[in-house]
A and B are shown apart, each in its own frame.
Chain A
């Protein structure tokens, strides 16, 4: 607690505020750029309707007026900014309404914001999971191969890592699909859920029954919240463990997380959560089979475990692909910076202090070697957006990347703009989080 307070009152809060202001500025520039690019496209938006014989020139004029395309450029630009700030992202040209009570503005069409709200969490989960896994594997292997120079694991992981790092990515992704989904059949080929698993789930509140995907979204967000809560609890355990005598810290952190994790997992997976309004629940008592054991859920509850498992199955392949492709970069960088920090005097001093080998390696050498690696992670985030488009397309993961590509191809301008802007916001926020993480890791940053 004292630590948090001290960090906040020292340079840290100032640092975050400055970063936030910078991000708002960058976002503004980015949005302007998006506007300019769209304006610079040949033709205009109403061209989509030209090929449609049902639309008369008069109707076309009406559409132009309705969309505000008759106004001068600067006015449209200001409108664009104003709409964004006030949260009006427009209506999709292609996606129809799925709610029982249609949106008052968009009526028969689906609001862009509705689409983004649905897609963004999926992308966030996929990329967060893969980033953490691949970063951790890279960090861990890099640390080990630097510490034990010349071990078999060094040659093996370096060769494998470099091969995967340089392989042609789409080809490699398809290869994995072919092996694991087509030939072995252990994971689904693609998609987000298996509708069969969702037959028993019914709507409560405003989500309609026949739209399994949207229903799944409700459960999905619920699960995301759980994960966020667990992360928070883990953070608290970590802070508490720091208060213990040195020799106990690791044990307290490890066993504390294991215990609370198990408890939470048990409650989460085994528990039948009572459903409330605006949530998805099962209509009648239902049994789910899992390998050897059977779980029963009474009617009117949310069977989180079986549903979560459905998501997890669909995430395995994309995450495996992304991780295999990208862990090597982190690993090689970690290895190099680790070799450098191992030569530092404070590492020698840590050894001289009689600390266990593992503590010297992890707490002193790896901890410092981590800093440049986190910097590289910050830069990598900016480039992960294009990776998102291709991954989501190959694995038909209905996230922001896929939505961006589809709406761009189908000239669904409101959605394309909204997706572009929110992808940008996503990247910027990820950047901010990584920046803050870095400032936490390196005390020297906070005081500049």
Chain B
């Protein structure tokens, strides 16, 4: 999925995660794969309850106790000159991009000159030695890290704007202090320096710097939203995951904040994953789009071709359910039928009970997630053209 000009900062492969509940096992994430490139805005879209938040939480390893991680890899890429990153990767499954080739395996040894990688080839393991200075893209599998090793990745590597952003501010601490807390955990700054940084971040998101010494209950909804965005930016993360960053706001503020976020992201050349159930929002901000249905990714590719000529019938249905006038919210009920129960999802293609193009095979077998058009992937037996 990589081209010569863009390289990935995150690769998600075959992610599967279920929740155990009293009623049964909720198959919230099934075999989800996608990649996120440097400086790119990726949109994840799908109906409520299709597992978008679950994907984000699985990546950051913030799952609740009843969640079961069942497999998959999340490769988080940094430069090979990042000493801490390399040390973290030692003994872990890694992915190395070198001269357009992908080396995958376990990192056995690191010294000043080279990295020793153990890879599997035709069922036999072999060792590859790679020159240290050549390695500019070293991806470590986050699912293999311990909690303590994961800690520096959180917020410094990947930060998140939570779905209930308003509630992610602790009511008993001043907002500024909550940003300073994150900054001082990950960056060697003194208190005055950290305060200055917070002031700059506040300015960036359009908040008065005086507000940093106020408590969350003194903020309006829009201000809280901006503060949470500033908080996500606090440690200069490589990736920001924005889970429905604006749904709690009214349409005008929503639009404004979205545009500003997009500007900041471009300015700082950050990679971003926007999660929304609102395809109009995704269309506005995303360079590439992943469409989720019932826990799986059904279509993935650059946003323009996807919106112009979708391959998957669900993507098409999603688009026709939303009028193109952005901002205007229409419930997805325009799509006939109910989103499936994730405890007992339909057999074969999970979309088949609602799909107008369904054929007999759709009911029996799960369609492969393959490239139908250049860079445009989908899982469907009867792709639209």
Task: Give residues in A with beta carbon < 8 Å to B.
Answer: 6, 149, 243-247, 344-346, 348-357, 364, 367-368, 371, 441-444, 447
Contacts and interface: CB of A to CB of B under 8 A. Distances in A.
Given A345-B162, A354-B154, A247 B147 contact: no
B151 to A, nearest CB: 5
Given A352-B60, A353-B154, A368 B172 contact: yes
A348 B67 CA distance: 15
Contacts of B164: 345
A349 B185 CA distance: 14
A442 B147 contact: no
A264 B166 CA distance: 46
Contacts of B162: 345, 348-349, 352
Nearest to B180: A246
Contacts of B191: 243-246
B153 interface: yes
A296 to B, nearest CB: 48
A358 to B, nearest CB: 12
Contacts of B170: 346, 349-350, 364, 367-368
A400 B155 CA distance: 56
Given A245-B191, A349-B162, A443-B217, A354 B168 contact: no
B167 A246 contact: no
Contacts of B153: 354
A3 to B, nearest CB: 10
A352 B156 contact: no
Name the residue in A246, A247, A354, A364 with the highest tally of chain B Cβ atoms < 10 Å from its Cβ. Answer: A354
29 contacts: A6-B213, A245-B184, A246-B184, A246-B194, A247-B185, A345-B168, A346-B170, A348-B62, A348-B162, A349-B160, A349-B162, A349-B170, A351-B62, A352-B62, A352-B160, A353-B154, A353-B181, A353-B182, A354-B153, A354-B185, A355-B185, A357-B147, A368-B170, A368-B171, A371-B172, A441-B172, A443-B171, A443-B215, A447-B217
Nearest to B170: A346
Contacts of B60: 352
Given A346-B168, A443-B217, 13 more contacts: A245-B190, A246-B180, A246-B184, A349-B160, A352-B159, A353-B181, A353-B182, A354-B152, A354-B182, A355-B182, A367-B172, A442-B172, A443-B172
A346 B166 CA distance: 9
A345 B243 CA distance: 13
Interface string B283-319: 0000000000000000000000000000000000000
Contacts of A356: 151
A438 B225 CA distance: 28
Contact of A354 (B65, B180, B186): B186
A272 B327 CA distance: 79
A348 B189 CA distance: 24
A355 B160 contact: no
B169 interface: yes
Interface in B193-238: 194, 213, 215, 217-218, 231
B131 to A, nearest CB: 32
B291 to A, nearest CB: 25
A246 B60 CA distance: 24
A363 to B, nearest CB: 8
Interface string B231-272: 100000000000000000000000000000000000000000
B155 A354 contact: yes
Contacts of A441: 172
A246 B171 contact: no
Contacts of A247: 184-185
Given A345-B162, A348-B168, A444-B171, A354 B156 contact: yes
A244 B190 CA distance: 8
Given A245-B184, A246-B180, A349-B162, A354 B172 contact: no
Q: Which bracket fits the contact residues of B?
A: 35 or more
Interface of A is mostly: helix
Given A245-B191, A443-B215, A444-B215, A353 B172 contact: no
Given A245-B191, A246-B185, A442-B172, A352 B217 contact: no
B149 to A, nearest CB: 11
Contacts of B160: 349, 352
A365 to B, nearest CB: 10
Interface in B61-116: 62, 65
Contacts of A246: 180-181, 184-185, 191, 194
A245 B193 CA distance: 10
Interface in B25-84: 60, 62, 65
Contacts of B186: 354
A1 to B, nearest CB: 14
Name the residue in B147, B156, B171, B218 with the highest tally of chain A Cβ atoms < 10 Å from its Cβ. Answer: B171
Nearest to B182: A353
Interface string B140-158: 0000000100011111100
A331 to B, nearest CB: 21
Contacts of A443: 171-172, 215, 217
Interface string B115-154: 0000000000000000000000000000000010001111
Given A346-B167, A346-B168, A368-B170, A352 B154 contact: yes
B152 to A, nearest CB: 6
Nearest to B184: A246
Name the residue in B154, B167, B168 with the highest tally of chain A Cβ atoms < 10 Å from its Cβ. Answer: B168
A354 B213 CA distance: 23
B155 A353 contact: yes
A20 B215 CA distance: 26
A338 to B, nearest CB: 14
A345 B172 contact: no
A368 B156 CA distance: 26
Contacts of B147: 357
A359 to B, nearest CB: 8
A245 B167 CA distance: 26
A444 B172 CA distance: 8
Nearest to B65: A149
Name the residue in B153, B170, B186, B190 with the highest tally of chain A Cβ atoms < 10 Å from its Cβ. Answer: B170
Contacts of B65: 149
Contacts of A355: 151, 181-182, 185
Contacts of A149: 65
Contacts of A368: 170-172
A352 B164 CA distance: 14
Contacts of A352: 60, 62, 154-155, 159-160, 162
